Amino acid sequence: MDSGRQGDRRAHRLLIPVLLMLLIGMTALLISEIRQNESMRAELRSILAESDSIREQKVCIDTEIEKLRKSIETVKNLPQEAETARQKFFEDASRLEKMVRDGNTDIKIAYLTFDDGPYEITDRYLDVLEMYGVLATFFQRGRDWNEYGAIYRRLALSGHTIGNHTYSHQIRGGIYRSVQTFMDDVLKNRKYIEENLGITTQVLRFPGGSGTAGSLKQGIIEELRKEGYAYVNWNSATMDGMYDLSADEYRDNVLNRTNGREFLVVLMHDYSKETLKALPEIIEGLEEQGYVFLPLFYESLAVNR
């Protein structure tokens, strides 16, 4: 045998395991590479999934922020919208009043008015009025905001008219000493209501009625006019401010004395439990007599300007 060939064979024999080892090594490397790649891919997938969910969350947050922005705009415009709706309501009410005055309709108008509050029981009055869908007028004096703030606010938000009844309501030795003392008290109450509720009162009732002002009446009326106030007395009353009567008697005092008046201004006080009991029957009874209910407003035919 040729020694050269034998050497070749030996070399071949050696080469095969080396190649095999190399192959195994490369395969192992490849497998580990593939595994690594797979784990990287899985990681990438999870990163992508996470970023998707972040994107979704962001879209969600953006939508929420957009919704919130719209809500803020609506809330900001509410006072303006409420004022516009109120003006529109008074225009409609004015037209109705003129139709009633001109005899173009069978219906009559009743203005329910409540003086001297707010009281704790005023809340119950508001419940009854709400139940019947009736808007009324509350002639308010200045009362402790900490105690009555919530009632003042409910009154204002319910659409009732808040009227000025002077801040102190001090009849004897108080507001009627001079035109000035009266007006000071009126303006103090106006400011109090404006600052707390953002509402400018335009309708006023003299404590005790305008007759109580005696010789000061004309002077006061001139000043009220300058301050943009209309004032109103009444031509119907439960008499709850004068006599301690039963709910039935208070009801009859109103229902039996309407005398078919086209415009009825009913004086009541929202401190009376008996008047509260009578209120549903007063409302129903007046409706039966053909009355519809309106709150008072500056341009109303029922007030004096």
Contact positions vs Zn ion (CB under 5 A) = 115-116, 207
**H or E segment to which residue 12 belongs:** helix 3-101
- Residue least distant from Zn ion (Cβ): 115
Burial class (CB in 10 A: 0-12, 13-18, 19+), 281: middle
Cβ closer to Zn ion: 116 or 240?
Answer: 116
- Min dist CB 165 to Zn ion, Å, is 6
State the minimum distance, in angstroms, from the CB of residue 203 to Zn ion.
Answer: 14
Q: Which is nearer to Zn ion, 118 or 207 (CB)?
A: 207
Q: Whose Cβ is closer to Zn ion: residue 93's or residue 201's?
A: 201
Residue 141 or residue 251: which is nearer to Zn ion going by CB? 141
Strands 230-231 and 236-237: unpaired
Least gap, CB of 103 to Zn ion (angstroms): 34
Taking the complex as a whole, how short is the minimal distance between the CB of residue 208 and Zn ion, in angstroms?
Answer: 7
* Nearer to Zn ion (CB atom), residue 207 or residue 295: 207
SS3 content of the chain, % helix, strand, coil (to 5): 60, 10, 30
Least separation, in Å, of the C-beta of 115 and Zn ion?
4
Q: How far is CA 147 from the centre of its chain?
A: 19
- Which among 189, 184, 237 is positioned nearest to 209, based on CA atoms? 237
Instruction: Let me know: does 186 contact 213? Beta carbons within 8 Å.
Output: no
Tell me the torsion sign for CA atoms 137, 138, 140, 146.
negative
Tokens of 234: 């009444």
